[in-house]
Amino acid sequence: MKEIMIATKNPGKVKEFEHIFKPFGVTVKSLFDFPEVEDIEETGTTFEENALLKARSIAQSQNIVVLADDSGLEVDALSGRPGVYSARYAGPGRDDAANIEKVLKELEGIPNQNRGARFVCCLAMAMPTGEEYVVRGTCPGIIATSCTGDEGFGYDPIFYLPELGKTMAQIPKSQKNVLSHRANAFVQLQEILQQLGIKKEA
């Protein structure tokens, strides 16, 4: 496998995957390199379903190995919301600041011990030949009461990691790439890549 297309238009995700795939010598492309691919509606009710929907449809139409990431934030006190709606929680504008504001408002007055949450990342890899693989990674944390830090993207500024005493937006990319939900899912995907004979370059 020489190249893989990440089925995303989220530049934050593209950057993380470029970093992740570098040791494998696999070139990372994204939907920015395939402007002809139309948006695929995320009609699934689970992260797995949505990731598979995207990967499958693009692998077939573009004849390339595709990795789709469907990810989001699950907040315990909100019964798992925003969940699969994380990107559009505050409405179709997909604005990170508005999404964060909505979560913080809904959690107003809720004490720290009840602000548990997790980031979830499902990765689906689809081959043009029809083989499909899906994995799920998670990363636990606590929703802070305000934003801190400017690394990362999405909900990172309010996602507090108690063991580090920092939010996900206060740690460098290299550290996020080791402990995040995406990193966790990628460890599982790596096992699959290995079984397929795709290994890290020495």
Task: List the one residue from 58, 180, 186, 193 that touches ligand ITT (CB under 6 A).
Answer: 180
Measured in whole angstroms, how far is the alpha carbon of residue 100 from the centre of its chain? 16
- Select the span of 6-14, 105-113, 126-134, 189-197 touching ligand ITT (CB under 6 A): 6-14
**H or E segment and range at residue 125:** strand 116-126
d(CA 183, CA 16): 9
Quote the least distance from Cβ 132 to ligand ITT, whole Å: 18
The closest of 136, 115, 5, 113 to 65, measured between CA atoms, is: 5
Does the footprint of ligand ITT cover residue 72 (CB under 6 A)?
A: yes
Quote the least distance from Cβ 48 to ligand ITT, whole Å: 12
d(CA 100, CA 135): 26
d(CA 194, CA 101): 41
Task: List the one residue from 48, 70, 75, 134 that touches ligand ITT (CB under 6 A).
Answer: 70
Which CB sits closer to ligand ITT, 26 or 100?
100
Instruction: Lay out the site mask for ligand ITT across 76-115 (x = CB under 6 A, - = otherwise).
Output: ----------xx--------x--x----------------
Residue numbers 121-150 binding ligand ITT by CB under 6 A: none
Quick check: is 150 catalytic?
Answer: no
Q: How many chain residues bind ligand ITT (CB under 6 A)?
A: 22
Within 10 angstroms of residue 3's Cβ, the number of other Cβ atoms is 12
d(CA 59, CA 21): 18
Task: List the one residue from 8, 167, 170, 184 that touches ligand ITT (CB under 6 A).
Answer: 8
Catalytic residue among 69, 70, 96, 156: 70
Plot region of 25 (φ>0 → left; ψ -120 to 50 → alpha; else → beta)? left
Quote the least distance from Cβ 139 to ligand ITT, whole Å: 8
CA distances from residue 60 to 6, 28, 39, 49 in whole angstroms, order as listed? 14, 18, 15, 17
Residues of this chain that interact with ligand ITT (CB under 6 A) are: 8-10, 13, 42, 69-73, 86-87, 96, 99, 119, 152-156, 180, 182
What residues act catalytically? 70
